[in-house]
Structure 1
Amino acid sequence: MFKHIKDSQITITELMLPSHSNFSGKIHGGYILNLMDQVAFACASKHSRHYCVTASVNKVDFLNPIDVGELVTLKASVNYTGRTSMVVGVRVEAENIQTGKKKHCNSSYFTMVAKDENGKNVPVPGIILNSEQTVRRFARSIARQEQAKNRSSKFKSSEFKMEDHLDALKNQNLKLEL
């Protein structure tokens, strides 16, 4: 079975309150991450029609701070489907209510896994790719998976050779005491 991406997209908008702020008066990054996880869950669950869990989050860069009083909109879309997993792209934008000015605050990729009532992984419907953008997003998800595999195997403790990495440490802010 295959589904159109637009059929499971989710958008939520929330007003940022003082209770969401950190000590510098900006919205706490952890609060935004919580909202991102919620919208990724909703999107993945809507697509799969199953309860979903977060398996991983790929790269969260906070590009612009969010102020109290701004409207934050989170948009989630399934970018990739595997057998039991989905990659959900989440984009966060903040809008100043007075000026209408919008800013991109971050984007991230959540790998979500569909579960049955016994907690076992279940197959998910595939997605229908119907534009260059959807093909690009799907292909990019495959590339990110490959990069993650290479990263984790290169630094596996049983295979790590310190000598191979000492040159990379030379101009870093550290003191080696081996």
Structure 2
Amino acid sequence: MTKDFKTVAESQVTISELMLPSHSNFNGKIHGGYVLSLLDQIAFACASKHSGAYCVTASVDTVDFLKPIEIGELVTMKASVNFVGSSSMQIGIRVEAENIQTGAVKHCNSSYFTMVAKDEKGQSVKVPGLVLKSRDDIRRFAKSIKRYDNKRVRLKEFTETDFVSEEHLHIVETYNVKIEA
């Protein structure tokens, strides 16, 4: 039986992984694509834990790469449900890397994923509500509402705007572009 409401803490997930040379890019830093894969995995785990259902990634709303991750560092990802809708959840993820020799920890990435709970037939299912117990829980929920509203406005503007109209031809003067159409 699924609960009607769950606390943020009930669905939190933390994973740690040592970064190996096989995870690196040509510059010797951990490849962003590998980090994205780990982010998607922890977002799935957190959303599934909250909903009690299989979850799919609806959107990767924000991925801010703040500092590079080095080979040999221990990466820890912390995921929380920040917001819930009827079948969707916004998962916030903080990524930290620790130099295991010095103990120095750095904040490397902040990300937000929208996940949707599904049943065996692929239909969206209702998720438990969220119990906010701390000022941080409330702050994260309020910021998620703002991110959701901004996303909705951006998508509406993007689908309703004709980007090849005469009003957009000023791009040649403003940006490093040449039009040959």
Name the TM tier (shorter chain).
over 0.9
Q: Answer yes or no: is 1:65 the counterpart of 2:73.
A: no
Q: Answer yes or no: is 1:85 the counterpart of 2:88.
A: yes
Match of residue 160 from structure 1: 162
Alignment of 1:19-58 (within 5 A): 19-58=22-61
Deviations 1:57-99 (A, max 9, x none): 1121211111110000000000000000100001111011111
Contact kept, 8 Å, 2:56 with 2:116, in 1: the verdict is yes
Report the 3-state secondary structure (helix = DSSP H, G, I; strand = E; otherwise coil) of the residue aligned with 1:87: strand
Match of residue 106 from structure 1: 109
Report the 3-state secondary structure (helix = DSSP H, G, I; strand = E; otherwise coil) of the residue aligned with 1:24: coil
Contact kept, 8 Å, 1:80 with 1:88, in 2: the verdict is yes
Match of residue 174 from structure 1: 177
- TM-score w.r.t. structure 1 length? 0.93
- TM-score w.r.t. structure 2 length? 0.92
Query: Aligned partners of 1:165 and 1:5: how far apart in 2?
Result: 45
Match of residue 115 from structure 1: 118
Count of matched residue pairs: 177
Query: Aligned partners of 2:155 and 2:112: how far apart in 1?
Result: 18
Report the 3-state secondary structure (helix = DSSP H, G, I; strand = E; otherwise coil) of the residue aligned with 1:83: coil
Contact kept, 8 Å, 1:26 with 1:65, in 2: the verdict is yes
Match of residue 130 from structure 2: 127
Q: For the structure 1 residues 164 and 128, does the alpha-carbon distance in structure 2 shift closer, same or farther, using more than 3 Å as the test?
A: farther
Contact kept, 8 Å, 1:154 with 1:160, in 2: the verdict is no
Q: Extract unaligned runs of 5+ from structure 2.
A: none
Q: Which amino acid aligns with 1:12?
A: I
Report the 3-state secondary structure (helix = DSSP H, G, I; strand = E; otherwise coil) of the residue aligned with 1:72: strand
